[in-house]
Amino acid sequence: MRILNASGCLDALAAPDVARQLDAFVTKTVTPLPREGSAPPRIAETAHGMLNAIGLANPGRERFLAEHLPRLRELGPPLWVSVGGFCADDYAETCSNLEDIEAIELNLSCPNVDEAADSAAEIVAACRRATGLPLYAKLSAAHPDVAEVARAVAAAGADGLSLINTLRGVALDRRLRPALARGSGGLSGPALKPVALHAVTVCGEATGLPIVGMGGIESGRDALEFAACGASDVALGTVLFADPGAPGRVRTELTAACADAGVVNPEDAAGLRKSPETQRKVPA
Ligand SMILES: Cc1cc2nc3c(=O)[nH]c(=O)nc-3n(C[C@H](O)[C@H](O)[C@H](O)COP(=O)(O)O)c2cc1C
């Protein structure tokens, strides 16, 4: 099981030592044109997680490829580039410009942009034609049937899934006004974990694709639970803001969590959940 960062939760150039603890570094989502993102305040604390409305702030494809990517390559960890856009061609053109990276993650699920995107399967199909690199489709659990979306992107040529993105929410300030200037934002952190574990379970069963599980992972035990639900790898997001040492800590805790659960490797945990003595069906 590899430990990655969740897109948008680590600036590897500002914190290279944190990035070097990872098995692969995932960039912030890159869009064709530069984006300033939403107006501040863009972050709010809630009792069980964090609400953000960054709005895909990023330097845009051209500057990313010319300035950021060469510097990221020097850091060491294999790179995943998160690609965003507003139509299938946006995504496909960025994919066709990428080479010598480990994988592409297609952000099909940002709650902080208003533009309607083409369908997830249409975007994946266009990107499949544009690149031979591994394509991971990052989906939202806000869809009423996430397993159906997973099946559609698998049929369109996705090599893996990243699950899940934030879920839309609202936080109010002391005077009962929305705490974020944008009004709503994406909820991340511990509150997401049960939702993410469900999405990983049903999408894994629907597609058999490798899955990077994320959503509220803070400990080795959390990571092992994702493995038990069928994730092949995990990504750390919100926890990195509070604990930059989390990748190393979670890796160490994962070994202890495996011993505690009576498995040798995280991979064996999936079998444990499915063994006849412990099997309980998770409804879609
Ligand atoms: C501040 C912030 C920025 C994010 N930016 C992106 C992004 O650019 N692209 C993306 O796919 N997900 C983005 N996400 C979502 C995370 O990658 C992740 O899916 C989500 O936060 C759930 O994981 P967590 O609960 O461990 O944070 C962002 C999350 C946060 C908190």
Domain boundaries, the chain: 3-274
Structure tokens, 138 = 């990052």
Provide the 3-class DSSP secondary structure of residue 234.
strand
Q: Which CATH class is domain 3-274?
A: alpha beta
Distance between CA atoms of residues 273 and 65, nearest Å: 42
Ligand 1 atom at minimum distance from 26 CA: 17
The sign one gets for the Cα dihedral 160, 190, 35, 244 is negative
Nearest CA residue ID for atom 10, ligand 1:
7
| Whether the CB of 266 sits within 6 Å of ligand 1 | no
pTM of the predicted protein model:
0.95
Report the length, in residues, of the chain. 284
| Whether the CB of 50 sits within 6 Å of ligand 1 | yes
From first to last of its 284 residues, the chain has per-residue pLDDT tens of 999 999 999 999 999 999 999 999 999 999 999 999 889 999 999 998 999 998 889 999 999 999 999 999 999 999 999 999 989 999 999 999 999 999 999 999 866 555 555 689 999 999 999 999 999 999 999 999 999 999 999 999 999 999 999 999 999 999 999 999 999 999 999 999 999 999 999 999 999 999 999 999 999 999 999 999 999 999 999 999 999 999 999 999 999 999 999 999 999 999 776 665 555 566 66
| Whether the CB of 28 sits within 6 Å of ligand 1 | yes
Distance between CA atoms of residues 181 and 38, nearest Å: 8
Distance between CA atoms of residues 116 and 118, nearest Å: 7
CB 84 within 8 A of CB 95: no
The sign one gets for the Cα dihedral 103, 109, 113, 114 is positive
Answer yes or no: 110 catalytic: yes
Distance between CA atoms of residues 203 and 221, nearest Å: 21
| Whether the CB of 112 sits within 6 Å of ligand 1 | no
